Amino acid sequence: MAEIIDMPKLSDTMSVGTLVKWNIKEGQVVAFGDILAEIETDKATMELSCTVPGTILKIYAPAGQQLPVGAPICAIGKKGEAAPEPTAAPAPKAPKTAVPAIPEKAEVSCVPAAPASSGSVAPQSDASRTKASPYAKRMAEKAALNVATLAGSGPGGRVVGRDVAAAASAPAPSTPSGPLNVAVAPPADGKGIQPDADVPVGGMRQTIARRLLESKITVPHFYLEVEVDAAPLMAMRESLNKRLAETGADAIKLSVNDFILKASAEALRRVPAVNASWAGTSIRTHGAVHLSFGVALEDGLVTPVIRDAHAKTLKDIAVEAKALIGKARSKKLTPSEMSGSTFTVTNLGMFGVTGFYGIINVPNAAILSVGATIKKPVVDAQDRMVIGHRMVIGLSGDHRVVDGANAAQFLQALKQLLEEPALMLI
């Protein structure tokens, strides 16, 4: 019997997905594990594997279309079998971030997440007199909605769960779309550097924009930086890679970023206050160091996570980081491999950037930003002017969780580890 394949839910926060590319066509025979399509979620572009062997009877959704979770995308069955008629696709739900976070202080009043359609909101003067089911009240509290502003569809105007759900999923207030400088004249020579166009934004870029805006607005960032003598690190890296190369053709090659990741894990062991998160009314400390690091892709940025980095050797971290980078670039990362971090490292040194500050990857308390190693004149311990190898490392911290002293102690520990890299191997 033919089976309809629906748009899968590939992450906890996914409500819609973009069918980027089909790898099959109608009439093609597919086996278990074959890659049917590439789907862009709110976190990454991922491959959809076949779990129902058979013949592709019908493709319902063209490439490039954005579809809600549960929408039919294709049918698989026996050759010659008629493709079933798909049922209507469920309406996509608004992203969770369209609903404001629950206020951290009780005295801050809640407001509706978005204006509802006519007749769905009925202002009431006293929330205590609002008729609402206990379930609806709990839903409204979680969604940061004032139940007193909702019109009820239950008996006697009672607010029930579906009323809260409708208000929470209402469209966010409209914002100006398109470029603000729409009146800019085209290039005089008719050529220019690229076409004038409005490029559609995919799910990954929308999520990046939403999360970074949320972080920058809601998290009180502060910034510190330190300059590191990178000469000992470079010397050790060269020596270790030479020895590793002698062990065989498949030996791992250590990158500067591998050393940064290992040193970060060790520095967090020394200053665990930075390995924490803001939890609203408390600071949540984390016993394990789960390191995420940025991997640039053509259509965005992903942050795979090395779990329990505090318990792994430099080589373990290098091997795992290389595997995660490969999965990221081949679009095989799973949502679980991109979530649950406690600290993030971002490195733009390979692009020649000498220093910068990243935006905190919520709920992490800090993000480390690594610049390029450059040659510059420095004064050595004997007050001589010599050529040095210097690396600037920046730290963006969440001032709700981390104070300047804690952050400075962390950078101090990190600097020592990088300038005396043998300490990482103990």
Confirm if 397 and 221 have CB atoms less than 8 A apart.
Answer: yes
Residues in the chain: 426
Confirm if 151 and 170 have CB atoms less than 8 A apart.
Answer: no
Matching residue, tokens 């490195």: 347
- Among candidate residues 221, 286, 310, 399, the one labeled active-site is 399
- Residue 308 is classified by DSSP as T
Question: Is the peptide bond prior to 112 cis by the omega test (within 30 degrees of 0)?
Answer: no
The Cα 418–Cα 258 span in angstroms is 11
Cβ–Cβ contacts within 10 Å for residue 119, how many? 7
Please give the distance of CA 74 from its chain centroid, rounded to a whole number: 29
Please report the sign of the dihedral spanned by the C-alpha atoms of residue 298, residue 219, residue 293, residue 288. negative
Find the helix packing angle between 256-270 and 314-329, rounded to 10°. Answer: 120
C-alpha dihedral (113, 115, 116, 121), degrees to nearest 10? 90
C-alpha dihedral (56, 61, 64, 68), degrees to nearest 10? -120
The Cα 268–Cα 248 span in angstroms is 33
Structure tokens at 79: 């050759």
The Cα 19–Cα 71 span in angstroms is 11
Cβ–Cβ contacts within 10 Å for residue 128, how many? 6
Beta bridge partners of 388: 376
Query: What is the radius of gyration, based on Cα positions, of the chain?
Result: 26
Structure tokens at 369: 């930003």
For this structure, is 221 an active site residue?
no
Confirm if 74 and 5 have CB atoms less than 8 A apart.
Answer: yes
The Cα 378–Cα 381 span in angstroms is 10
List, by residue number, the catalytic residues: 399
